Structure 1
Amino acid sequence: MAAKAGTTPATYSPSPTTNNKKNRTPLFSDVDWVRPDGRDFHQCRPAFLRTGAVNAASGSAYAEFGNTKVIVSIFGPRESKKAMMYSDIGRLNCNVSYTTFATPVRGQASDNKDISSQLHKSLEGAIMLNTFPKTTVDVFALVIFILAGDLPVIISCASLALADAGIMMYDLVAAVSVSCIGKNLVIDPISEEENHQDGSLMTTCLPSRNEVTQLTITGEWSTPKIHEAMELCLDACSKLGKIMRSCLKESASTSQE
């Protein structure tokens, strides 16, 4: 379902899902624990997406995944600095910043430079850089509030903003993460789950082409668990991609009215 002001956020969950035991407390050492927010292990947070959030930008998007809220503005393509050497392909510049109230405790936000670098790596392979030579496209992401993994939300929102700006892309970029907690894999984890994870895996991909643009793995994983986590992420990315495309289509139809 396309995201629109006043509408119910869309959900996207890979298959299969597990039974949700809402009456249990979140004891992560218990094999049968329940997630703090009541979701199934394989159920993603509701996603609300909207384009055209910043009028002064070439393109923009707003994303709300649960309590995590991100806004991305795109500027360009515009002429690169004269000091730069000639290039027959365009340049992508990514910058991620956080509001002072982005986290419940000030100073807990992720490292800006590392997040900006990962955002660049995830998007670069999806953009047709040869379509804007000698110019630069600037991607500015602002994390308004975060109670869970912010990077997948930033990547997905930035991809939507690039499409809204009319930047030529091979496909949208969708990102989803999975945490391994004991014997369980939980998709789209919140902070409390990330604090207890044994490992994490994040996949960014081009959902229509089923191509991975970035794979990040931390912690200890067995080969079967990696394969299972990858399947969950790719399935969720495919469903998230459909929501993103629906958002763009609805935005285009609204602008024509």
Structure 2
Amino acid sequence: MAGKAGTTPITYSPSPTTQYKKKTPIFRDVDWVRPDGRGFHECRPAFLRTGAANAASGSAYAEFGNTKVIVSVFGPRESKKAMMYSDLGRLNCDVSYTTFATPVRGQVSDNKEFSSMLHKALEGAIILDSFPKTTVDVFALVLESGGSDLPVVISCASLALADAGILMYDLVASVSVSCLGKNLLIDPISEEEGNQDGSLMITCMPSRNEVTQLTIAGEWSTPKIHEAMELCLDACSKLGKIMRSCLKETASASQE
């Protein structure tokens, strides 16, 4: 893993004793199978599509299992705030959930925290001086919450920015891992996240091998952190290839 020293935001959270739900015995059994039948180190199939919203400058739709997200990008457009501060462009991010995104109506994650984390994940990948004194707005809407919502939002937002023609150093891919007992589960679903001992999320630029964000919550040993990071980076590399293929297909279709 390579990255610019001192530029990668790292977030730590305390023990998940009060944060996570009561453990379900099945996840502590020796021979248990993930609810969706995947292997512990197997990601959900990813479906990606650009041009999902006609009114936006760029947009993308992502579907990872039961997690469904749509992101719309508007701009660059003139911004008085950007003119006041510098000649660099500004990035605004907003993450929201539909009222029917979760089984329990209105039961959603912290939108403000997710919006801030989305901004941190994308900002380092965008060439901000390519649109001086203007603003790019990124609106992410979680249509269905099926687990690993934020990583899916980040990856989908990166694709939408590329679809809008925003200059970036590289696409941004994000993957998370849950720790349940001695096991590491990549790309966890909601049920697994609700019973995890800890979580780790990495956001990176796959082609440049640079991490833009690392978030750790819960109780981790150093060897487990290293193992989880390797799992995430490998998955991000594979996801990055899928994202580039999606953009190439869109470009090919527009030329026909």
TM surpasses 0.5: yes
2:244 corresponding residue in structure 1: 245
Greater RCO structure (CA 8 Å; 6+ sep): 2
1:226 corresponding residue in structure 2: 225
2:125 corresponding residue in structure 1: 126
Q: Is the 8 A contact 2:100 2:106 kept in 1?
A: no
2:168 corresponding residue in structure 1: 169
Q: CA deviation at 1:84?
A: 5.5
Change in CA separation of 1:119 and 1:59 when aligned onto 2, cut-off 3 Å: same
Counterparts of 1:1-257 in structure 2 under 5 Å? 27-81=26-80, 85-257=84-256
CA distance in 2, matches of 1:211, 1:82: 30
Which residue type is aligned with residue 233 of structure 1? C
Which 10-residue stretch deviates more, 177-186 or 103-112? 103-112
2:17 corresponding residue in structure 1: none
Which 10-residue stretch deviates more, 80-89 or 172-181? 80-89
2:14 corresponding residue in structure 1: none
Q: Is the 8 A contact 1:91 1:129 kept in 2?
A: yes
Normalised by the length of structure 1, the TM-score is 0.88
Alignment root-mean-square deviation, CA: 1.3
Query: Percent identity among equivalent residues?
Result: 85
Which residue type is aligned with residue 74 of structure 1? V
Change in CA separation of 1:221 and 1:81 when aligned onto 2, cut-off 3 Å: same
Which residue type is aligned with residue 208 of structure 1? S
Q: CA deviation at 1:107?
A: 1.8
Change in CA separation of 1:235 and 1:80 when aligned onto 2, cut-off 3 Å: same
Which 10-residue stretch deviates more, 78-87 or 157-166? 78-87
Which residue type is aligned with residue 110 of structure 1? S
CA distance in 2, matches of 1:42, 1:61: 26
CA distance in 1, matches of 2:25, 2:80: 53
Instruction: Give the match's secondary structure for 1:176.
Output: strand
Q: CA deviation at 1:176?
A: 0.2
Describe the superposition over 1:203-223 as per-residue Cα deviations: whole angstroms up to 9, x where unpaired: 000001111000000001011
Q: Is the 8 A contact 2:59 2:163 kept in 1?
A: yes
Structure 2: gaps spanning 5 or more residues: 1-23
CA distance in 1, matches of 2:197, 2:101: 25
Q: Is the 8 A contact 1:31 1:183 kept in 2?
A: no
Q: Runs of at least 4 residues of structure 1 off by over 2 A?
A: 81-84
Q: Is the 8 A contact 1:28 1:181 kept in 2?
A: yes
CA distance in 2, matches of 1:59, 1:67: 24
CA distance in 2, matches of 1:175, 1:213: 10
Q: Is the 8 A contact 2:175 2:232 kept in 1?
A: yes
Describe the superposition over 1:210-243 as per-residue Cα deviations: whole angstroms up to 9, x where unpaired: 1100000000101100000000000000000000
Q: Is the 8 A contact 1:159 1:174 kept in 2?
A: yes
Q: CA deviation at 1:255?
A: 0.5
Which residue type is aligned with residue 144 of structure 2? F
Q: Is the 8 A contact 2:82 2:135 kept in 1?
A: no
Q: Is the 8 A contact 2:90 2:136 kept in 1?
A: yes
Change in CA separation of 1:200 and 1:85 when aligned onto 2, cut-off 3 Å: same
Q: CA deviation at 1:245?
A: 0.1
Which residue type is aligned with residue 165 of structure 1? A
CA distance in 1, matches of 2:169, 2:155: 15
Q: CA deviation at 1:82?
A: 5.7
Q: CA deviation at 1:56?
A: 0.9
Instruction: Give the match's secondary structure for 1:241.
Output: helix
Describe the superposition over 1:141-193 as per-residue Cα deviations: whole angstroms up to 9, x where unpaired: 11111121200000000000000000000000000000000000000001111
